[in-house]
Structure 1
Amino acid sequence: MSTHTPGTPTSRAGGAPDATRIHNIGYRHYDGPRLGRAYARRSLYAQSLRGAFGLGRSAKSKVLPMILMGIMILVAAIMVAVAVAVPNTTELPVEYTRYAIVMQALIALFLAAQAPQSVSRDLRFKSVPLYFSRPIERVDYVVAKFAAMASALFVLTGVPLVILYLGALLAKFDFADQTKGFAQGMVSVALLSLLFGGIGLVLAALTPRRGFGVAAVIATMTITYGAVSTVQAIAFETGSPGVVEWLGLFSPVTLIDGVQTAFLGATSAFPGGQGPGAGVGAVYLAVVLALVAASYGVLMRRYRKVGL
């Protein structure tokens, strides 16, 4: 250690002043437990899930997700109030499986706002390679982000169904029918959450610019649904009802509608109320699962490039 007085430069052999200082800044070796990849993955999942609702972030970041969550809950509560107040009512105004389809615009807005928040900032500020240093690896990052986004959407869509179910029991509707419908609704929104979450993250991960990610998600969710619904209506009105069920394969919203119509006893929103049967419904389900798997694969490929 240097022994000269701080601030007094010493001379080198050539006579030049030597301003070198060696300070003891107190670094100590870490002897605590090393929690490993599983802990890091769970922490990233929890942080991403909280961030989807603005928790742990600024007050401004909480406004939109909390407003959307509040609207989803408020609409469900109003439906329950109507069911309880109207005499001789034996069912809810909207089926459990229909609620997310009816509210799909709000779900798309939530996804458009929160998917870029989850991944675009890491890309923009080039912090992704830091995640891929040990102990966390690329697969841990993708799994944590995918699971967190799907979980956030499941909370957004599942909590209103819980309110509807409790309200139906309060109104003394048939317990078996309501429990069956509630279970079918929860399966539907779980599938919707995986599909929407994967698509939203892929679109958001393609650009570090959050604004572009928001626009891409909104366009994909709303334009495809509007276009498919319009073409379906035209096909139905021109006497081609068989084409309607196949057109539903080209929009995330109509994909979920087709799956739940075929397998979960839902009433279809397709023109004429004729959704796909079990045969075509199997194609719908296969496409949904393929899109979820493809979203995961694209994210893995995207972050393989980022991590290099």
Structure 2
Amino acid sequence: MPSETTAAQVPAQSADPARIHNIGYRNYDGARLGRAYARRSLFAQSLRGAYGLGRSAKSKVLPMLLFAVMCLPAGIVVAVAVFTKAKDLPLEYTRYALYLQAVIGLYLAAQSPQSVSRDLRFKTVPLYFSRPIERADYVVSKLAAMASALFILTAAPLLVLYAGALLAELDFADQTKGFAQGLVSVALLSVLFAGIGLVVAALTPRRGFCVAAVIAVLTISYGAVSTVQAIAYEQGNFDTVGWLGLFSPITLIDGVQTRFLGADSAFPGGYGPPSALAGVVYLAVVLGLIAGSYALLMRRYRKVGL
């Protein structure tokens, strides 16, 4: 008899349309930090990653080595100035990054794939956009982190030069002015190079291809422009020397700092932009490349974020 009662109850229980089970989940009652916190976190994580912090020991070797290589010549210059009791530094602040552009290019080529190519290769980009973060937040955070990493790389040796100049008791006003000009120059260089490097890196998830492409963009353009400038200089086309600088990232920075920061040009014969109008064109091209890099990154991440 009890078995018959149980059997009769089974259909009634299984037909129950609404049965709620409490399995222990609780609502989140903490603070909701939102997009601003997500942007800051992504920026900090990307900046740390650019120097291998928070990653394996092997990942720290190359960026730290390149950082040391950037600072070493500054230390040598300071030592020479102190021991020879020179009245001025043998190297201008605005020239330092131009002379060590190969180191800067190698750093950019090595770290820009780490910043964005890994996310593309492992298809983690949609996971970012599933959080309270938008494509513009991702692009701005990555671009700001790479520019900041490059600024640290290029400004640190200038700080060494400045500290050494004060130690050598060189003129405070002149050294402060030169140091400030150098900081402005490398800040502009950092933003420009970061935009170019990330655009190239975002085009392919393959790290090897990205490294080669970034080096090619920076090296081939500079080599071609320098060669044609030298030919134009030998033929006496001095204005042409100044205009040709528009076709390479590093010569663009040279032209801007020559016209607006009072720096001496590294172009053949010291011929920078031939006029004030040319200087404005140089600055407009630099700003246009930065804005164009941002636009291309936004366009790229509209597709890969789907």
- When normalised by structure 1's length, the TM-score is 0.91
Does the Cα contact within 8 Å between 1:76 and 1:164 map onto a contact in 2? Answer: yes
Aligned counterparts of 2:74 and 2:181: Cα–Cα separation in 1: 17
- Separation of aligned partners in 2, 1:175 and 1:45: 36
Match of 2:40 in 1: 42
Of 40-49 and 263-272, the range deviating more from structure 2: 263-272
Partners of 1:186 and 1:278 lie apart in 2 by: 22
Corresponding letter in the other structure for 2:211: V
1:25 positional shift: 7.6
**Does residue 1:252 correspond to 2:263, yes or no?**
no
Q: Who is 2:27 aligned against?
A: 29
Question: Paired residue for 2:210, among 189, 210, 213?
Answer: 213
> Which one-letter code corresponds to 1:35 in the other structure?
L
Among candidates 295, 300, 303, match of residue 302 of structure 1? 300
For 1:211 and 1:93, how far apart are their aligned partners in 2? 38
Gaps of 5+ in 2: 1-10, 12-20
Q: CA deviation at 1:30?
A: 2.1
8 Å CA contact 1:263, 1:278 repeated in 2: no
Q: Which residue of 2 aligns with 1:204?
A: 201
User: What CA deviation, in whole Å up to 9, does each residue of 1:98-146 have, x standing for no partner?
Assistant: 0000100000000000011100000011000110113111110000000
Bigger-Rg structure (1/2): 2
2:291 equivalent among 290, 293, 302: 293
Name the aligned partner's letter for residue 261 of structure 1: T
CA displacement at 1:278 relative to structure 2: 2.5
- Between the aligned partners of 1:170 and 1:161, the Cα distance in structure 2 is 14
- Counterpart of 2:300 in structure 1: which amino acid? R
Aligned residues between the structures? 287
1:239 Cα shift? Answer: 1.9
CA-CA distance at 1:26 after TM superposition = 5.5
The alignment's C-alpha RMSD in Å is 1.5
Q: Which residue of 1 aligns with 2:76?
A: 78
State the 1:24 CA deviation: 8.8
Unaligned residue ranges in structure 1 (runs of 5+): 1-12, 14-22
Give the secondary structure class of the aligned counterpart of 1:167: helix
Q: Report how far residue 241 of structure 1 moved.
A: 1.4
Higher helix proportion = 2
Match of 1:233 in 2: 230
TM-superposed CA distance for 1:75, in Å, is 1.3
Structure 2 letter corresponding to 1:220: V
Q: Which residue of the other structure, out of 114, 117, 122, is the alignment partner of 2:114?
A: 117
The equivalent position to 2:270 in structure 1, one of 270, 273, 277, is 273
> 1:150–1:193: 8 Å Cα contact kept in structure 2?
yes
Q: Does structure 2 conserve the Cα–Cα contact (< 8 Å) formed by 1:232 and 1:271?
A: yes
Shift of 1:242: 1.4
Counterpart Cα distance in 1 of 2:78 and 2:209: 38
SS in 2 for 1:93: coil
Q: Give the aligned residue type for 1:226.
A: G
Aligned: 1:193 with 2:216? no
1:198-257 C-alpha deviation (Å, 9 max, x unpaired): 000000000111111111100001111011000100111012111111110000000000
The answer to which of 92-101 and 269-278 deviates more is 269-278
Mapped to 2, the partners of 1:117 and 1:249 lie a distance apart of 29
- Mark the CA change 1:25 to 1:233 in structure 2 (over 3 Å): closer, same or farther: farther
Please state whether the residue corresponding to 2:294 is helix, strand or coil: helix
Determine the C-alpha separation between the residues in 2 that align with 1:41 and 1:194. 18
Deviations 1:33-88 (A, max 9, x none): 1100000000000000000000001111100000000111111111111110113x
- Aligned match of 1:7: none
For 1:278 and 1:49, the matched residues in 2 are separated by 37
- Per the alignment, residue 67 of structure 1 pairs with 65
For residue 32 of structure 1, report the CA deviation from its aligned partner. 1.3
Q: Determine if the alignment matches structure 1 residue 172 to structure 2 residue 134.
A: no
The aligned residue for residue 14 of structure 2 is none
Identity %: 77
TM-score of the pair, normalised by structure 2: 0.91
Which residue identity lines up with residue 191 of structure 1 in the other structure? L
CA displacement, residues 140-189 of structure 1 (integer Å, 9 cap, x when unaligned):
00000000000000000001101100110110111110000000000000
* 2:135 pairs with 1:138: yes
Question: Structure 1 residues 211 and 27 mapped into 2: Cα distance closer, same or farther (>3 Å)?
Answer: farther
